[in-house]
Structure 1
Amino acid sequence: MSKSIYEGLLDMAAFVLTALLAATGSQAGVAPTGQRSFYPPGLNHTTFISNASVGTFGGLYTAPASQAAPASPGDAYDYCSMPHPHAASYSLPPPVANQTTVSARLVYLEYLQRHQRRTPYNILPGGENQPYHCDNLHAHLYVAPASQGPAPIPVYGQTYSDPSNPFLATYVNGSCQYPQLTIGGFLDGYQHGRDLRDVYGDLIPSSPDEDGGKKIWLRSSNSALTQESAGGVLRGIWPDHNGPLPLHQQASGIDTVDQGFSCSAQSEILSTIESTPLWNEHLTVTTSLRNRLATMFDADTSSWTSTFDHFADNFQARLCNGYELPCRVQNQSECVTRAQADEVFRAGDWEWNYWWRNNANATRYIQLVEGLFIGEIVQHLEAVQQGTSELVYSHNFVHDGDLGPILGALGINALRWPGMGSNIAIEIWETSASELYARVLYSGHAIETIHGTLDWIPLSALLSILKPFIPEDIISMCQSS
């Protein structure tokens, strides 16, 4: 994205600050817990990765194994269970809180969230030294006739490890699928929903069946992770509801979330993004770490070494579910240190910020990956603007790969990897003068962006921010080289 001169000066100031911290090793680089941990200075520069004094910049990466994660202190960046709107910290928009300024009521909520915590996608090629246990959660999977017909037995998948399976030696023992929601993730989701009910109970219908269900829209990707998270969150919102609810999904081959549709231009532009001097610089400053981890875990393929996605995913999933950082199976004394894990997490944050905010092709990349879904959100908001919608509450259960580009489109000042349960709440308020204003919360607080803090802006202004990221002809864009 193009930057103003003012933004460029801010980036340079952040670069100088981070470089000074790197040179001095000052512990001032470690941020206190709290909302400031969402916006690290210098995230556009590779010194953020190499400066060990930064630590996790106030970020949290641990959670208990079999219970809901405690609320993070000061609503800090908590990768395992990101903050969300809750009564203890929620406040009205400033003009509404100051009742002498404006009188307004909340008329619509568009809510997007990542699934809750889970087991890893990426199993270390050399095998895992700890077994994963998931038999405290039943992964139900069954179908039922919509009207007449016999009721099914509600079967669930019970994973087990057969010791005679020759592939088990280089995999992971236990009773989990990879990935799958964990009991802690389910309980986090349930609390997430209860807190949303506490904050938005005056807007969200007391029953999802109210007015024939026309006031709500529930949407997910095709992933079991998002569907299972929805089950926990929606139970928290409607604790007394009986019966099933429709969770809308598009066909998997053309889904507009979770990169469901085929588009060769996505990988082509990503290759361009990952061939710039700055991208290569970030690989250079992490050479020692990448080589060490690759050797330790027999992970020397490009999928493990070209980005930090796989190592970060593996380490995050362990720490977020009560496990330890990994050790080499062949030598249990060779283990990942916390300093190494912190550097992996900083590098992961840097990559996400680079992909969706800090590269010259970010706008087009967002259009190709998430533009169609952004268009769906804009359609919802325009229907509210035009007074043609009965909806008051839309809830979308998606992935980090969906929230990242949307946060990039909003122009977030610094984009850290959207953690488990990350969420965007787009509130639409109507004043007594029938004017519509928007507020965008990221993980429970007004998002800080290149457009200012989106705490109270005309709905038309928010639409103007988002519309440039909607592709005019995605078919032609995906076919162009």
Structure 2
Amino acid sequence: MFSKAIIIVAGARLALGFTPLETFYPPGLNDTSYISNSSIGTYGGVYQAPTREASTSAAYGTYDYCTMPHPRAQEYPLPGPVAKGTVKAKIVYLEYLQRHQRRTPYNILPGGENQAYNCDDFLPYLYGGASSGGPNPLPVYGKTYSDSSNPFLEGYVNGTCQFPQLTIGGFLDGVQHGEDLSAVYGDKLGLFPSSPDSGKVWFRSSESPLTQQSAGGVLRGVWPNYQGALPLHQQTSSVDTVNEGYSCSAISSTLSKIESTTEWSDHLSVTATLRSELATMLGASSSSWQDTFDHFSDNFQGRLCNGYALPCNVQNTSDCVSTAQADEVFRAGDWEWNYYWRANPYAQQYIQLVEGLFIGEILTHFQAVKNGKAGEMKYSHTFVHDGDIGPVLGALGINVLRWPAMGSNIAFEIWQTEDRNSTFYARVLYSGQPVETIHGTLDWLLLDDLIAILQPYVPTDIEALCDA
């Protein structure tokens, strides 16, 4: 069922000769020929994970769509100058962003799903209570079921899942994610406090249960023995600066410009046969399925990353999506994400519109650390979506950008030298490795230089930009 290109082999290299690091930066991703080149499979990317276990099968550092790598004590290197002893410095602040962990798909096939999804092994709790006084709430959780008398069930999908929802595998991935962060930034570097109920930490998510439930898993991994509740800060959904929360007409008009370019048309041309085949097989002929590869990628990823098979025609179950077709879908999805946030002529404006306010919030944190106004704050962790991770990486100037996968993460580390100058430096890790960008590898640079890289993506007047 899976391409030979994703099978892990002995040693540090993957099939076709790609090292784990190389799987993050396919050199041909700016060209549509990357999509049609079937010989590269998934360019070493992994799209397979077990259903009810944490995903740990891929070689560390590999582009693993189901569970992206993250800082881990066994592989974590100190910044180059610190490791060599040419600079004596300590880490003083961590700004950590991550996508939620793996989940079921958003997009159910219009022609129907040939497999039932089972989520009985994960309990999505849904309850509230008074901040002080009053009775404690009874913990209740959502339990999805199907009623045979419901006429809309035919042609949908049976089972016990919501679409989307975090899966048990995703939850367990999150706990492991948190345990590894604690081993690096707590045990190794001494940055994390022993308890999260202090002025040293700040947690935020979007309004989505996916990000909120991921936070519960990850933070349990960071503090396994903590008893009590924690605030997970969220902005009001209609004005949220993550997950495209606020209304801005220029976002859609700029996206229309991007998808009207010659390059975008070319990528649709080279995938015309594939899109036609999938439309016929899966009943997915509407524009929402045919104009981008978002829906096909999401559906296939959600299946493979939770132990399910690729889909089949519900009337002819021998007519199924092949590995080669899925590989091309994933290559096309990568091409689209790289084009959205790196390669199109409107990329800077698009990032300003979609993510500029959030980038500005991050820079405010950096300035507070630099100016000695951060108080005791040491660690900020924000749980968001691929649509937030992508533009931040685009603003950093990542060399090429594959689809930011499940649990993908950006660690902004701020270090302070222990000399009379007491200079602030930064480094940026993407999924555990110093990010490779047009500005060089961001392993050790002045904090002011990192701020200068990101500042052009912060709009000076978002309301005017949205109305333009």
Q: Partners of 2:269 and 2:39 in 1: how far apart?
A: 19
- Superposition deviation, residue 473 in structure 1: 0.6
- Superposition deviation, residue 75 in structure 1: 1.4
Equivalent positions of 1:132-143 (< 5 A) are 132-143=117-128
Match of 2:458 among 426, 446, 470: 470
Q: Partners of 1:230 and 1:253 in 2: how far apart?
A: 21
1:49 and 2:30 matched = no
Q: Residue type of the partner of 1:415? A: L
- How many aligned residue pairs are there? 449
Structure 1 residue aligned with 2:205 = 220
- Superposition deviation, residue 295 in structure 1: 1.1
Q: Residue type of the partner of 1:196? A: L
- Superposition deviation, residue 169 in structure 1: 1.4
Q: Deviations over 1:222-251 (max 9, x none)?
A: 000000000000000001111110000000
1:87 and 2:87 matched = no
Q: Secondary structure at the match of 2:153?
A: helix
Match of 1:129 among 105, 114, 127: 114
Match of 2:393 among 398, 407, 422: 407
CA contact (8 A) 1:221 1:227 kept: yes
Q: Partners of 1:30 and 1:319 in 2: how far apart?
A: 21
Equivalent positions of 1:320-339 (< 5 A) are 320-339=305-324
Equivalent positions of 1:65-76 (< 5 A) are 65-70=51-56, 72-76=58-62
Structure 1 length-normalised TM: 0.92
CA contact (8 A) 1:142 1:154 kept: yes
Q: Partners of 1:179 and 1:277 in 2: how far apart?
A: 33
CA contact (8 A) 1:33 1:59 kept: no
Q: Residue type of the partner of 1:358? A: A
Deviates more, 1:448-457 or 1:289-298: 289-298
Match of 2:87 among 102, 114, 118: 102
Q: Deviations over 1:294-324 (max 9, x none)?
A: 1111111110000000000000000000000
CA contact (8 A) 1:29 1:54 kept: no
Equivalent positions of 1:184-263 (< 5 A) are 184-201=169-186, 202-209=190-197, 213-263=198-248
Question: Percent sequence identity over matched residues?
Answer: 65
Structure 1 residue aligned with 2:379 = 393
Q: Secondary structure at the match of 2:349?
A: helix
- Superposition deviation, residue 111 in structure 1: 0.2
Q: Deviations over 1:264-296 (max 9, x none)?
A: 100000000000011100000000000110111
Structure 2 length-normalised TM: 0.95
- Superposition deviation, residue 151 in structure 1: 0.6
Q: Structure 1 340/403 Cα, relative in aligned 2: closer, same or farther at 3 Å?
A: same
1:379 and 2:364 matched = yes
1:313 and 2:301 matched = no
CA contact (8 A) 1:375 1:467 kept: yes
Over aligned residues, Cα RMSD in angstroms?
1.0
Match of 1:37 among 19, 23, 26: 23
Q: Partners of 2:178 and 2:101 in 1: how far apart?
A: 12
- Superposition deviation, residue 31 in structure 1: 4.8
- Superposition deviation, residue 32 in structure 1: 2.3
Q: Residue type of the partner of 1:465? A: I
CA contact (8 A) 1:226 1:398 kept: yes
Match of 2:148 among 140, 163, 166: 163
Match of 1:355 among 340, 353, 356: 340
Q: Deviations over 1:118-137 (max 9, x none)?
A: 00000000110000000001
1:421 and 2:381 matched = no
Unaligned runs of 5+ in 2: 1-13
Structure 1 residue aligned with 2:288 = 303
- Superposition deviation, residue 162 in structure 1: 1.3
CA contact (8 A) 2:90 2:415 kept: yes
Q: Deviations over 1:151-206 (max 9, x none)?
A: 11000000001122111111110000000000000000000000000000010111
- Superposition deviation, residue 479 in structure 1: 1.1
Q: Residue type of the partner of 1:68? A: A
Q: Secondary structure at the match of 1:334?
A: coil
CA contact (8 A) 2:15 2:44 kept: no
Match of 2:445 among 457, 467, 471: 457
CA contact (8 A) 1:30 1:55 kept: no
Q: Partners of 1:123 and 1:31 in 2: how far apart?
A: 35
Q: Secondary structure at the match of 1:372?
A: helix
Match of 2:98 among 100, 113, 132: 113
Q: Residue type of the partner of 1:400? A: D
